[in-house]
Structure 1
Amino acid sequence: MSKDENILNTCNQFAVDHANIGIHAVDHSGRTIVYNRKMKEIEGLNLEDIQDHSILELFNFDKTESTLLKVLQSGEPQLRVKQKYWNTNKVEITTMNDTYPIYEQQELIGAIEFAQDITALEKFVLQPLRKNRGPITFNQITAQSLAMKSVISTAEQAAAADLPVLLIGETGVGKDNLAEAIHYGFADNERIFHTFHCLHADTDIIQQLEETLQQQPPMTLFCERMDTLSISLQQALLYVLQKTPAHQFIASIGDDPVELIASGTLLKELYYFFASFAIRIPPLRKRPEDIIPCAEAYLKIRVESLGTGLTKIDDKVNELLLAYDWPGNLRELELLLDEVSSMHTTEDTLTQDMLPLQFKMKVEAIANDASQPSDFIVQSDSKLLPFDQYLRGAEKYYLQKAMELHDHNITKTANSLGMSRQNLQYRLRKLKE
């Protein structure tokens, strides 16, 4: 290969990696050969996650919906096709795709897709409260545990103070519900509550937000997951919020703010703007006292709003609910109850046989995976495990205990183990595979 060809290949690779449009190319069998940074952002995948899989194995659509597979089958381009689907992070995505066949000497060898993320354009920048239910107040948030009672108490103080509020917690813990309860706790409850979805916002959306805040009467604005904005957009958002002080602002982030600032994910000045009241909502696994009451309360809501039949939970089901670690928190619990309720409309008690097989398998896997220190002591009469299996089990046990000691804080755990955050995150991710 000549020097000019090397330079051209390097330039092409740079352009693909830094383009502000998703690029995904597959071979004739549907397996990925090119997958750029922007497509990773849109679909929530890494190249190493998809190299050995067909796109049908990765996304929740069939052959008739995949533009790449349509092009592979027809040999004809598919232009300006709008596609809506759920990515691997369980976020609904809308893209506008241009997909082309790739030929070599008149033989179809693959297809390439250029995807523009238009999710933000599909949503109005501000979304008011849902119309199919009444407002959420502090009294409606289940809080049996001391941890959640403390959260509610602090949130009530924040509402009385009428200052910016920051809600901190994992995905699905109920940050949106608490934000709404704080809104209704404000003295001036004539304001309208609006949610600003930060995940897919861009410069135009931030500008539209500024115009809206300048033109509208005082409102409560909930900036949902502002840590998903780029730092430059966070700077723009801070500028807008500081220019429009007549409104009440609430924001949420998905991780510890100190950790997010240290990793360059959260703008320090934006955090300070909201730091008057920073409220941490603990994950469901940290407050097991709330699991059963939350499930019962949600079933009651379904009965009142949809007329579904399930009103009680069998003791065996309660045991399974308590044994599960709920990585998706309240949202995952509610989705489980939605699925069961929609399948069993005449029964009044949720029993073990109604639970999805996948959920029961997850609970069983957790029980089987509960290692003890004694598992790693070699006894003279015990059967030796394969060395790789022993090391993997020991590493998993040690890292899990280290994470528990530091309340699942990645930065603190990594520092205590003498490794980088990236190294720890990589090891934890590999252990889940």
Structure 2
Amino acid sequence: MERIGNLPLSQQRIIYETIMNEIDVGIHVIDTFGQTIIYNKKMMEIESLTKEDVENKDFLDIFMFEEGQGSTLLEALYKKKHSKDVKQTYFNNRGKEITTINNTFPLYENGQVIGAIEISKDVTKLERLIRKNMESKGNTRYTFDSIIGESTAIREVIENTKRATRTASSVLIVGETGTGKELFAQSIHNGSDRSKGPFISQNCAAMPETLIESLLFGTKKGAYTGAIERPGLFEEAEGGTLLLDEINSLSPPLQAKLLRAIQEKQIRRVGDTVDRKVNVRILSTINEDPIEAIASGRLRKDLYYRLGVVTLFIPPLRERKEDIVPLVDHFIAKYNERFQMEVKGLSDEVTQLLLQYDWPGNVRELEHIIEGAMNLMIGEDLIDVRHLPFHFRQKSLSAPLSSQITSVYETGPSDAIEHSVEEQQPLRDLKDYLLEAEKMYIKKALERNKYHVTKTAEKLGLSRQSLQYRMKRLGISAK
């Protein structure tokens, strides 16, 4: 220790020990044998140990590291490695998890390593707070980086969605089941200035009509038998985002009450007489054509205009098949990590089957297919046809009916179906058949009317907006 002025050695030691124990960083020094020789007060607090627990004891007898992760302090001693601002998570001999940010380096005398020192900042509590915050926000782990796909269709939607993060306007997300509507909703929330507020999601079809109103708006004590004073989702989402999934499943009276809440930015609990102001951004989803939902009475027109200030149409997977391979790569990596496997990809035959299939269940169905296939693999590198779920093999190996769809426009559906049955062609799912038939029929109608959308809509008995929605959903360009 360097001499401090003319002070006696005893006073110098007091100064040294005071500095070591009062600084707000942990100090841990080991000698050439890996035994602790200096261990300050802050380090004791960080690691929940005493000096007696650690000093003059072998480092690896006290601390444990997860498989594949080493100690930065031992690397400094044995590998002469300098580390700066390295985050490290490890455990003491009582099983407590510790997370620190470390600066670590070897100690030299005459060119020889005589030990190593680690200077640590405690971030254990910060890590826990971050985890807790993520949980309280409804696990909003998705951002725009989570959306897989490079197709023109999906990139266009992503760009439009990013623009929607700049304001607090309501957004209606339209898409078939399994297209990833909530993924887009979470990305909007996490990309907006409300990202620090709560994100609360509620599937409106998952709750009975008698409960959904009190769930959304809250209840006043005594409003009905057993009712307690409880805030609803609007109040719980204060300052953040409320996602209402399958909005078309709400009853007309409840849609009217929701419209009032959005317009006036205030709600009234069930059984109460007091209005409460709320500051919430509303995102909503619908899994059908909103125009058809309005026409059939499942969605109020005035609510649609209020919810759809910004309307996003998420393309189904069959309209962006070039994204299937990158999606598969993503899901294989995900389940490799979860199942501790090393699957490298797909066989050529499986790749062709996936590209030919129409994916009525969209991205969700694709993920389930990959997960199911990997559950049946034992040591293989590639997913083969025999690994695919039985129901998928049955559907995907059926002969396509697209060759019959042209005749539907010319001769009518009954002739085409009779022709199909006569030839004993394997029948596909009715929904898939009708979608293909609809696409071909609209294409033929557009051709006959020289791609005049308004005239075509009139001939088909549709509104212009409804035809445009169908064209977008089916991937038909107006040329």
TM superposition score normalised by structure 1: 0.57
Question: Is 2:235 the partner of 1:228?
Answer: no
2:151 match:
145
Question: Residues of 2 paired with 1:377 and 1:258: CA distance?
Answer: 28
Question: Residues of 1 paired with 2:316 and 2:199: CA distance?
Answer: 25
Deviation string 1:194-222 (CA, Å, 9 cap, x unpaired) is 11110033243222321322355422111
Question: Is 2:440 the partner of 1:401?
Answer: yes
Whether the aligned pair in 2 keeps the contact of 1:203 and 1:233 (CA below 8 Å) is no
Describe the SS at the equivalent of 1:340. Answer: helix
Describe the SS at the equivalent of 1:196. Answer: strand
Question: Residues of 1 paired with 2:250 and 2:456: CA distance?
Answer: 26
Question: Is 2:213 the partner of 1:206?
Answer: yes
Question: Residues of 1 paired with 2:409 and 2:167: CA distance?
Answer: 53
Question: Is 2:313 the partner of 1:283?
Answer: no
Deviation string 1:115-161 (CA, Å, 9 cap, x unpaired) is xxxxxxxxxxxx97665xx7111011012110100100011000122
Deviation (angstroms), 1:163: 1.8
User: CA 1:302/1:414 → structure 2, altered by over 3 Å: closer, same or farther?
Assistant: farther
Aligned amino acid, residue 251 of structure 2: S
Deviation (angstroms), 1:306: 4.2
Whether the aligned pair in 2 keeps the contact of 1:165 and 1:274 (CA below 8 Å) is yes
Aligned amino acid, residue 326 of structure 2: P
Deviation string 1:320-370 (CA, Å, 9 cap, x unpaired) is 001000011111111111211222253332122211232122122243664
1:20 match:
none
1:191 match:
197
Deviation (angstroms), 1:289: 1.1
Question: Residues of 1 paired with 2:408 and 2:168: CA distance?
Answer: 53
| Among 287, 294, 307, the residue aligned to 1:261 | 294
User: CA 1:301/1:128 → structure 2, altered by over 3 Å: closer, same or farther?
Assistant: farther
2:66 match:
none
| Among 387, 393, 416, the residue aligned to 1:354 | 387
Deviation string 1:73-126 (CA, Å, 9 cap, x unpaired) is xxxxxxxxxxxxxxxxxxxxxxxxxxxxxxxxxxxxxxxxxxxxxxxxxxxxxx
Whether the aligned pair in 1 keeps the contact of 2:194 and 2:240 (CA below 8 Å) is no
Deviation (angstroms), 1:300: 1.6
Question: Is 2:358 the partner of 1:325?
Answer: yes
User: CA 1:267/1:366 → structure 2, altered by over 3 Å: closer, same or farther?
Assistant: farther
TM superposition score normalised by structure 2: 0.52
Percent same amino acid at aligned positions? 30
Question: Residues of 2 paired with 1:350 and 1:391: CA distance?
Answer: 33
Whether the aligned pair in 2 keeps the contact of 1:136 and 1:180 (CA below 8 Å) is yes
Whether the aligned pair in 1 keeps the contact of 2:154 and 2:315 (CA below 8 Å) is yes
Deviation string 1:281-323 (CA, Å, 9 cap, x unpaired) is 0111111111121121122222234434334122221110010
Deviation string 1:356-388 (CA, Å, 9 cap, x unpaired) is 23212212224366437589999xxxxxx9997
User: CA 1:252/1:406 → structure 2, altered by over 3 Å: closer, same or farther?
Assistant: farther
Question: Residues of 2 paired with 1:338 and 1:274: CA distance?
Answer: 35
Question: Residues of 2 paired with 1:217 and 1:375: CA distance?
Answer: 53
User: CA 1:308/1:245 → structure 2, altered by over 3 Å: closer, same or farther?
Assistant: farther
Whether the aligned pair in 2 keeps the contact of 1:231 and 1:267 (CA below 8 Å) is yes
Q: How does 1:96-245 map to 2 (within 5 A)?
A: 135-201=141-207, 202-211=209-218, 212=232, 213-214=234-235, 217-241=238-262, 242-243=265-266, 245=278
Q: Which moved more, 1:211-220 or 1:188-197?
A: 211-220
Whether the aligned pair in 1 keeps the contact of 2:151 and 2:320 (CA below 8 Å) is yes
Describe the SS at the equivalent of 1:371. Answer: helix
Q: CA RMSD in A?
A: 3.7
1:363 match:
396
Deviation string 1:371-415 (CA, Å, 9 cap, x unpaired) is 37589999xxxxxx99971388999786552156689xxxx9996
Deviation string 1:14-41 (CA, Å, 9 cap, x unpaired) is xxxxxxxxxxxxxxxxxxxxxxxxxxxx
Describe the SS at the equivalent of 2:400. Answer: helix
Question: Residues of 1 paired with 2:173 and 2:419: CA distance?
Answer: 40
Question: Residues of 1 paired with 2:443 and 2:136: CA distance?
Answer: 38
1:342 match:
375
Question: Is 2:419 the partner of 1:390?
Answer: yes
Aligned amino acid, residue 182 of structure 2: D
Describe the SS at the equivalent of 1:367. Answer: coil
Q: Which moved more, 1:147-156 or 1:341-350?
A: 341-350
Whether the aligned pair in 1 keeps the contact of 2:405 and 2:416 (CA below 8 Å) is no
Aligned amino acid, residue 364 of structure 1: L
Question: Residues of 2 paired with 1:402 and 1:413: CA distance?
Answer: 11
Question: Residues of 1 paired with 2:410 and 2:282: CA distance?
Answer: 54
Deviation string 1:174-209 (CA, Å, 9 cap, x unpaired) is 101111111111123111211111003324322232
Question: Residues of 1 paired with 2:421 and 2:388: CA distance?
Answer: 31
Question: Residues of 2 paired with 1:388 and 1:215: CA distance?
Answer: 54
Q: Which runs of 5+ in 2 are unaligned?
A: 1-134, 219-231, 267-276, 424-432, 447-454, 467-479
Question: Residues of 2 paired with 1:377 and 1:205: CA distance?
Answer: 48
Whether the aligned pair in 2 keeps the contact of 1:136 and 1:181 (CA below 8 Å) is yes
Question: Residues of 2 paired with 1:387 and 1:258: CA distance?
Answer: 30
Question: Residues of 1 paired with 2:159 and 2:371: CA distance?
Answer: 30
